[in-house]
Structure 1
Amino acid sequence: MLVAVILDLLIGDPRSLPHPVQFMGVVISFSKVLTEKIAKENKSKLYIGGLIITFTVVSLSGISGWIIERLFLFYEIKNPILCTLIFGLIISSSLASRSLNKSIVEILDIISKENTINNLSNSRQKLSLIVGRDVENLDSNEILRALAETASENSVDGIFAPLFWMFLGTIFWEFNKSMPGPLAMAWIFKASSTIDSMLGYKEGKLKWLGFTGAKLDDLMVWIPSRIVLITLPFCCKPKQSIFKTIKDSWKDGIVDTSPNSGISEAIFAYCAEVKMGGVNYYKGKKRIKPIIAETYPMASINSVRKILGLSLRLELFWLLAFYLIIKLINL
């Protein structure tokens, strides 16, 4: 587990190596086309098709991870160091610490330079690769808000949710090595997350086709997002008490239409002391997100960097907590 986190922080996802999400994406895309061809406009068939896609992709991902775990456990006896490094590299592909940090810092570096039309255009182009909202008309302040919000939400989706399921898989191993371990559980989560990102839209056929995948992803992020809510204040020095920070974050975040993203953004907003929420556009459609931490200032370069720093601190805090939990189990 520690090796995977270190490798993710140091090298991230090497582009020269195939990524498991790419294979998941191929299966999802093929299944989507096939399902739409069979179901046509029938809502019930689209829903059933989405259920089958979700079950198939999640099952195949979990089984693939489980098989790799069997190979690791077998060869670990012969070459423990090499096997641990290879296994750590494979499991680190489920984490997004370095890739998220790198993408956001690149945009921050552009914004920190002289505010020219070319720099603004470049910032928007890079931002469009990591957010779902329309970016064509965003000024530098709105770009910074988008970065603050995506850094908060994606820290949970891309780091802490997969970490939680890795932890759970490792605990399974403490009781029985034949159970799904950290890689299998991480890939099950990544499968649900990938299905949600590709099919989980409330429009057209996807409203029915992506329903199951979206609900499964919400379910798998539900617990991790709330653990982040409780633990993040211990990694910062909030102006108010930890209890009040958690309470205010819950109050602001729970009104969001998403059961998880609002809470994720809210706790980072209060800990980094930055206001979030407002008007966003998605494919030309206006959507007003609730204002979070209204008394704090708008997002700035420093506050976005602070969110990234908090995320790293919390990741290390989780690793320490998990180490202690394993020690207690083994007593």
Structure 2
Amino acid sequence: MPHPVQFMGVVISFLKRLAEKIAKGNKSKLYIGGAIITFIVLLLSGISGWFIERLFLFFEIKNPFLSTLIFALILSSSLASRSLNKSILEIINLISKGNHRDNLSNSRKKLSLIVGRDVESLDTNEILRASAETASENSVDGIFAPLFWIFLGTIFWEFNQSMPGPLSMAWIFKASSTIDSMLGYKEGNLKWLGFTGAKTDDLMVWIPSRIVLITLPFCCKTKQSISKTIRDSWKDGIVDSSPNSGISEAIFAYCAEVRMGGVNYYKGQKKIKPIIAKTYPMASINSVKKILSLSLRLELAWILVFFLIMKLVNL
């Protein structure tokens, strides 16, 4: 089945071409065009989710089990845990087979599908570092941020079921994330066209990333205390140019006990990222697997705690 993000992508691409045609390189018009694109795509995504929620609430009365099952399947499309795990495991499985030229080449190709950095010259160690970093950052962007907005939409329903619910809020977030992925680059027209979308995505990930910072240490066993893990992660992560990705990578680095950061190349341009958890060893197959395991544990913990909170509220 087509994924909702694909439809968002089609709309964003159309509006991008239209905005660039109208703006003709004018910075102010590109800023305004980017703001309009962000508003339209978020609005359409939220309204689409809201209409599906109306259908669910209507059919729930007639067939509660079937309608709930279908709604849960649609809602699960907002979470990227399965696709993230699959992509990362494919890469490390190829690496585990040895440094054969074909395995290394295929690892780079698969990595290029999930990272923005140049991968053509990466060796095994750098592929593993990239895998660890993207697994950490995308766990927050692809799992915990949408989960947070799903929870918030569920709470809205507790007050009034006419309000945007879990699907509406999840799709609004996915829309902001997709806009950022497609337009949020500091190059050419996108420097101005993607500004509003990138800032909106940063804003929507800001709270979830910090909740992950506080909660992930409870799901892992490290040599240092939970409070020190949080403090060290904040200290290392906050210096990153991104307000969220640095913190996301740092907390997973300390919990999985793996060093991250270093020199990356983006379209041939060198970028030095701050070293995170520098006292720990470089990324390995086991440490990447540990990051995926920690992400799954935290996801289950979030769902369980939220379920218990909702049960207590409804007593």
TM range (shorter): over 0.9
With 223-232 and 171-180 compared, the bigger mean Cα shift is at 171-180
Write out aligned runs for 1:202-241 (5 A). 202-241=186-225
**CA distance in 1: counterparts of 2:268 and 2:79, whole angstroms:** 31
From 293, 302, 305, the counterpart of 1:309: 293
Q: Tell me what 1:261 maps to.
A: 245
Q: How far off is 1:310 after superposition? A: 0.1
> What is the letter of the counterpart of residue 304 of structure 1?
V
Q: Tell me what 1:10 maps to.
A: none
Write out aligned runs for 1:17-28 (5 A). 17-28=1-12
- Structure 1 stretches of 5 or more lacking a match? 1-16
> What is the letter of the counterpart of residue 283 of structure 1?
K
**CA distance in 2: counterparts of 1:104 and 1:159, whole angstroms:** 15
- Structure 2 stretches of 5 or more lacking a match? none
- The CA deviation string for residues 190-219 of structure 1, in whole angstroms up to 9 with x for no partner, is 000000000000111101000000000000
**CA distance in 1: counterparts of 2:132 and 2:310, whole angstroms:** 34
**CA distance in 2: counterparts of 1:309 and 1:116, whole angstroms:** 27
Q: Tell me what 2:262 maps to.
A: 278
Does 1:149 find its partner at 2:133?
A: yes
Runs of 4+ in 1 over 3 A off after TM superposition: none
**CA distance in 1: counterparts of 2:157 and 2:7, whole angstroms:** 26
> What is the letter of the counterpart of residue 329 of structure 1?
V
- The CA deviation string for residues 269-298 of structure 1, in whole angstroms up to 9 with x for no partner, is 000000000000000000000000000000
From 95, 107, 123, the counterpart of 1:111: 95
Q: How far off is 1:171 after superposition? A: 0.6
Write out aligned runs for 1:157-176 (5 A). 157-176=141-160
Does 1:193 find its partner at 2:177?
A: yes
**CA distance in 1: counterparts of 2:303 and 2:268, whole angstroms:** 41
Q: Tell me what 1:12 maps to.
A: none
- The CA deviation string for residues 149-173 of structure 1, in whole angstroms up to 9 with x for no partner, is 0000000000000000000000111
**CA distance in 1: counterparts of 2:98 and 2:43, whole angstroms:** 50
Does 1:87 find its partner at 2:71?
A: yes
Q: How far off is 1:328 after superposition? A: 2.9
Q: How far off is 1:327 after superposition? A: 2.1
**CA distance in 1: counterparts of 2:98 and 2:39, whole angstroms:** 50
**CA distance in 2: counterparts of 1:171 and 1:66, whole angstroms:** 15
Identity of aligned residues (%): 85
Q: How far off is 1:329 after superposition? A: 2.2
SS at structure 2 position matched to 1:99: helix
Q: How far off is 1:86 after superposition? A: 0.7
**CA distance in 2: counterparts of 1:130 and 1:148, whole angstroms:** 12
Q: How far off is 1:66 after superposition? A: 0.3
SS at structure 2 position matched to 1:77: helix
Q: Tell me what 1:97 maps to.
A: 81
From 241, 244, 258, the counterpart of 2:228: 244
**CA distance in 1: counterparts of 2:28 and 2:48, whole angstroms:** 30
**CA distance in 1: counterparts of 2:211 and 2:312, whole angstroms:** 19
**CA distance in 1: counterparts of 2:205 and 2:159, whole angstroms:** 24
Backbone CA RMSD of aligned residues: 0.6
Q: Tell me what 1:49 maps to.
A: 33
Counting matched residue pairs gives 315
Q: How far off is 1:41 after superposition? A: 1.2
**CA distance in 2: counterparts of 1:117 and 1:50, whole angstroms:** 43
SS at structure 2 position matched to 1:126: helix
SS at structure 2 position matched to 1:138: coil
**CA distance in 2: counterparts of 1:116 and 1:241, whole angstroms:** 41
Q: Tell me what 1:320 maps to.
A: 304
